[in-house]
A and B are shown apart, each in its own frame.
Chain A
Amino acid sequence: MLRGAATFVEDIPRPHAHHLAFVRSPVAAGRIAGIGTEDARAVPGVLAVVTAADLGHPSLTAVLERDEFVPTSMPLLAHDRVRYAGEPVVAVVAESRYVAEDAAERVWCDIEECDPVLSLADAASTPVHPEAPDGVLVDLQMFADDLLDESLARAPLVLEETFRSGRVTAAPMEARACLAEWRDRDEQLVLHCSTQVPHQVRTGVAQALGIAERQVRVVAPDVGGGFGLKCVVGREEVVAAAVAARWRVPVRWTEDRQENLTAAFHGHEQEYRVRAGFDAEGRFVGVDADIVCSVGAYSAYPFSCGVEPLMAATELPGVYKVGRYAARARGVATNKPPTAPYRGVSRPQIVLVMERLLDKAARRLGIDRVEIRRRNTIAPHEFPYTGPNGITYEPGSYLEALERCVREVTDAGWWERRAGGDGLRRGIGLVNFSERTAYGTATMGLRRMQMTPGFDVSHVRMDASGDVVVTSGTCGHGQGHETTFAQIVADRLGIRPERVKLRQGDTDLVSFGWGTWGSRSLVIGGGAAAVAARTLAGRLKAIAGELLEVGPGDIELADGYARVRGVPEARVAVEEIAATVHFRSHTLSRHHDQLLEARGAADPPGMFSNAAHAALVEVDPGTGDARVVDYLVVEDCGVVVNPTVVDGQVRGGVAQGIAAALYEELTYSPEGQPLAGTFMDYLVPTASEIPPVAVHHLQTPCELTETGAKGMGEGGTIGAPAAVLAALNDALRDCEADLDHIPVRPADILRVLTTGTRTEREDTA
């Protein structure tokens, strides 16, 4: 990586590969009346110009097995209708990307334009899919409670609030990319793909092309960030596969940044209308939420467009005891690109909603905002706690994290800094939340996806020299799996981590897996590796016992040796055991038909990490500028396997959360044209916008996992928008209006500043 020797898909040398460029719909909605490809075909260097008809109209369909879900197909290339500006219609195959783009410009599409659907309000006017005439692809009524209305009616305080979050995208630095080749020798299509889920890509490609899974090998080389964007199957990747299979030439597609921002997968465009009742002491009596997610034009494969609505409705209560609870969550089809599970999936929004509700209630009731959280948070003695959302929460450090966060902030002098006095306004945001991680089969099964992910498997094998190769169905891309998996396996085998190498991301090398997303890899993949390593350790002990003439129970593995407990000089090196098993098995009484390999699996139900975040923001009333100047995280992901890796995930996550709170939004014109198609408009923050983030750890070991660890890949992104928004409102504490949406722009802040003032209440912890 540091030498420039990493291999991302685009770095794989294939000098003679053809390149794909897509002709994309220039309009948000319309009917395709005609497509002209003759001029494009005539461009020298063009191999083929491909329409949906040329491929036999293949498509990808993601299905939830629920009555409330309307299945819709996503064609690989649009044929009858276009449903967003940027939708691929024609693929040009040429000798270089330069020539492919030259030819793409010569394709004409005659499209009869229709009025676009951009929000729930106009969803029924011209439905995106005829199958869903009201524009709603999924409508979930969950946890209906007949007594909720009554409870709210009697509550001393009822807040009726609306919260919104803007459409954003993962924007990994490496956009999507693939290289597809047909190999006659193996009768196999080899698809190198920048993906988080190689096995799901394999299934998607096999299904769309109507070939056997065996005939598709998907390899994820180095992957330049994913954040959920690459945990779904892209239609362009399948088109590349189809072209390679049909024309028998290697074909590359490298998504450019404009495509990535305007035509890949988006997320987080949501609106919450919430009624929340509180008693006089600030305790929730009930929460009723109506949630609308603008899921875009298609259901992404394999997760479907149910991901955001399901997550939002199920997990809204978070770390709080909300009393009675009901939620309706809808996924509305809009003429915008489809959504994928972008880092956090609805939890940045639900945490924002809950934390805003508590801050508002605290203010209305005159209760300190830390105190109101103490009163509502699930307390240590209440675990395992089952909420009105049917979820049982295993032990976490919810209150401890909050108290620690407040203490750290106080010790760091934030309250003094908040007082200001230099013309800038300052505010502190404090939020407390949990994130469910490592969703296993049992939890995923409740979603009723046609393809239910959850478990993972791992193989651990030691070669004749005593080195170990671990395979895993995960597919890391910057999360440090190589380090953490090696640690986990090495610990159990008593060898140095450098002797353990992880292999992942190749469907021919790894029998099956569900990839890397949903904060699952270390817990599920690492858990499976731990199980396999434990089994292998048992075999090493058995053989060592025979060599040392003791029972296997008397053997311990440490420092590269199997040694007799209490008799350290009675030992045999792991290398020697390995060599014996491979080359001198005749000297062993048994095991001679087995090598040093073991398989492990893990499928935990899912578990809750938790964290408290604090943000200190500065607001410049002259410009409306808001800047996060300090940030603090107290997080508990159970046993920390590697603090550096955990801190890196937290900090990177916080940066994406700050981005969503203040900078990034994919806006659209009334005609449905994307207005943020470049990094000049889509403001991924630089080092100047992201403050240093202090990370403190609490460790509540998890009883549900092999290593005691819980997942933690998304928490930073989940907590930061709420923390920043809380801090902004605190900075504007004497103003009449509240900010209840993200991203907050300078003009929004100036608007609040001019709405008049209210009496300031000193609010310290």
Chain B
Amino acid sequence: MKDQHLVTLTVNGREHELVLESRRTLADTLRQELGLTGTHLGCEHGICGACTVLLDGEPVRACLVFGVQADGREIRTVEGLADGDELNDLQQAFSRHHGLQCGFCTPGFLMLAEAYLAGGGSADPGEVREVVSANLCRCTGYQGIVEAVTEVAARRREQAAKAHD
């Protein structure tokens, strides 16, 4: 068949070889080809951010990238956040601060925040609010999300400072 591409994706550290039609989005590739259904589709036009994943460490809307474009690249999804049974600090903070209700937008927010924090994001709540504005949540009013990300930013900076000393 025309327009099938053999691609190699590394997702959460695991390599996958796939044959993909050109038009299959990265989101559909992750969900349907790899069964990684934690990445959700909320609008398919880049506004809601539910499908945010990390592509070579950068946050991207997986609905606006084609799977074939991720050939040879590293992808990180919500399934790769926890260390085995142990939730990472950000996931724990979301739970503690009631940063989720229905949970549909949560993976996108986690990956957005993970990218922000990985870049040494500040713990200023105003700044966090601006970053978090990249994604939409319909349940929480955002307060718990902002609190969770702010708290983790502060803690990670503290840890980074200690490590530096």
Contacts and interface: CB of A to CB of B under 8 A. Distances in A.
* Direct A/B contact, Cβ within 8 angstroms: yes
A225 B102 CA distance: 6
A648 B101 contact: yes
Contacts of A687: 129-130, 132-133, 142, 145-146
A693 B144 CA distance: 11
A703 B68 CA distance: 62
A479 B87 CA distance: 22
A1 interface: yes
A478 B103 contact: yes
A688 B129 contact: yes
A653 B143 CA distance: 12
B44 interface: yes
A687 B134 CA distance: 8
B151 to A, nearest CB: 14
Interface in B126-165: 129-130, 132-146
A693 B142 CA distance: 10
Contacts, number: 162
A651 B140 CA distance: 6
Contacts of A5: 38, 79
Interface stretch (A33-41, A169-177, A755-763): A169-177
A217 to B, nearest CB: 22
B142 A11 contact: no
B94 A2 contact: yes
B104 A3 contact: no
Interface residues of A, number: 51
Given A2-B94, A5-B38, A11-B37, A693 B77 contact: no
A70 B116 CA distance: 55
A4 B36 contact: yes
B73 interface: no
Interface residues of B, number: 55
Contact of A2 (B39, B95, B104, B140): B95
B44 A256 contact: yes
Contacts of A692: 143, 146
Contact of B141 (A4, A223, A256, A693): A693
A227 interface: yes
A656 B82 CA distance: 32
A480 B102 contact: no
B97 to A, nearest CB: 9
Nearest to B37: A11
Interface string A1-26: 11111111011010100000000000
B48 interface: yes
23 contacts: A2-B87, A3-B91, A5-B38, A8-B37, A13-B35, A13-B37, A172-B102, A173-B136, A173-B137, A225-B101, A257-B42, A478-B100, A644-B98, A648-B140, A651-B144, A652-B139, A654-B141, A655-B138, A678-B45, A679-B47, A680-B45, A680-B47, A686-B133
Interface of B: 21, 23-24, 31-32, 35-45, 47-48, 50, 77-79, 81-82, 87, 91, 94-95, 98, 100-107, 110, 129-130, 132-146
Which are the 7 A-B pairs with shortest beta-carbon distances?
A4-B38, A224-B104, A478-B102, A1-B103, A478-B101, A651-B141, A4-B78
